[in-house]
Amino acid sequence: MATVSLNKLTKRYGKTEVLHGIDLDIADGEFVVLVGPSGCGKSTTLRMIAGLEDVSDGTVEIGGRVVNRVEPKDRDIAMVFQNYAIYPHMSVRRNIGFGLKTAKISKEEKAKRIEATAETLGMTQYLDRKPSALSGGQRQRVAIGRAMVRQPSVFLFDEPLSNLDAQLRTQTRIEIKKLHQRLGTTVIFVTHDQVEAMTLADRIVIMKDGAIMQIGTPSEVYHSPANTFVARFIGAPSMNLLPASGDGSNLRLASGAAIPGSARGDVLVGIRPEDLHPGDPASAPMQGKVILAEPLGAETLLYVDVAGAEVIASGPGQGAPGPGDVIGLSPVTLHIFDAETGTAIR
């Protein structure tokens, strides 16, 4: 097991800088998820930690040792790829054992380790099958098995669930989390799916355009997003952001509604849909007309037109207002952001 530190890590392709000197310290045994939209640099960061990409500037440290010039095989890491990278012409046993090819242990020990890994993953009866005879989820487990069998100090996952269907993804997600709880190995996991990030991570690293937007526990990034990007990226449906101007005691929205708040000047008021419930139009600070209702069972998402701006609110699962109804909205919790820079005002 080991810590991982990135110091001013930079990646350039020719003259284009894609990663702008990021800093990140990962504790021993921590499960860290790098999340962000396509092209944010999360995979590049992971590949630099793995040693598959050269470091342009800054350092990667694994277990306190700078590994910028260390070959991938000597970094004591294992990686699970998006397309699994399991070899179609080898049996599951050979695939899992491939990672032990260079390990300096006896044949019996290797066989024992392969068996033990298969046992952990519930793949024992499939050991002699070819990958083509396995389902997507089983292939994924072979890929994880191949990483596990090497007993590395850091696991790297590069979007390992994105080729699975929704149900299997949820299931495998839980298995990965259980596996981490059992093994206690440091994990760095890359995904573009914020739900995966929230459910798996000890800490989430949200990235955009080659820079880190926020690092924090799932609760931190959800409840106190550092800026409007994080606010909108984490949580589904996205947080509502409404322009307003504050005079120190009240925030006046574009619709004319006034909400109590201490900010001054032009701000963006962020309200999560689940913090916005329909009520009596007469007593609520905001009024609007329902355009669309999406029943989800436990709740109903209401798309409300508030003075020209579309706001998403959360209504009850049963008996929610329908399209055309005029409703009042009372926000419970507010997130205030600077209108110009988008950073949170606390």
Shortest CB 101 distance to other proteins, Å:
5
Tell me which stretch binds other proteins (CB under 8 A): 23-31, 86-94, 122-130, 133-141.
Answer: 86-94
Beta-carbon contacts of 172 under 8 Å, excluding residues fewer than 6 positions away, are: 137, 140, 141, 160, 161, 164
Separation between Cα atoms, residue 40 and residue 229, nearest integer Å: 12
Nearer residue to other proteins within complex by CB, 73 or 178:
73
* Residue choice 57, 87, 129, 137 for contact with other proteins (CB under 8 A): 87
Q: Is 62 exposed, middle or buried (0-12, 13-18, 19+ CB in 10 A)?
A: buried
Separation between Cα atoms, residue 231 and residue 216, nearest integer Å: 13
Kindly state whether residue 279 participates in binding other proteins, applying the rule CB under 8 A.
no
Per-residue binding letters, 286-315, with other proteins (x by CB under 8 A): ------------------------------
Residue 191's CB: how many other CB atoms inside 10 A? 25
Q: Is 333 exposed, middle or buried (0-12, 13-18, 19+ CB in 10 A)?
A: exposed
Nearer residue to other proteins within complex by CB, 52 or 195:
52
Nearer residue to other proteins within complex by CB, 191 or 227:
191
Nearer residue to other proteins within complex by CB, 72 or 342:
72
Kindly state whether residue 207 participates in binding other proteins, applying the rule CB under 8 A.
no
Nearer residue to other proteins within complex by CB, 101 or 346:
101
Kindly state whether residue 8 participates in binding other proteins, applying the rule CB under 8 A.
no
Specify the DSSP class assigned to residue 344: B
Q: Is 36 exposed, middle or buried (0-12, 13-18, 19+ CB in 10 A)?
A: buried
Nearer residue to other proteins within complex by CB, 99 or 285:
99
Using CB under 8 A, which residues numbered 49 to 68 contact other proteins?
A: 50-52
Nearer residue to other proteins within complex by CB, 83 or 318:
83
Tokens of 21: 């000197």
Separation between Cα atoms, residue 97 and residue 141, nearest integer Å: 14
Tokens of 246: 């504050």
Q: Is 200 exposed, middle or buried (0-12, 13-18, 19+ CB in 10 A)?
A: buried
Interface with other proteins: number of residues (CB under 8 A):
24
Per-residue binding letters, 145-164, with other proteins (x by CB under 8 A): -x---x--------------
Kindly state whether residue 78 participates in binding other proteins, applying the rule CB under 8 A.
yes
- Binding residues for other proteins, rule: CB under 8 A, are 50-52, 71-74, 77-79, 81-83, 85, 87-90, 98-99, 101-102, 146, 150
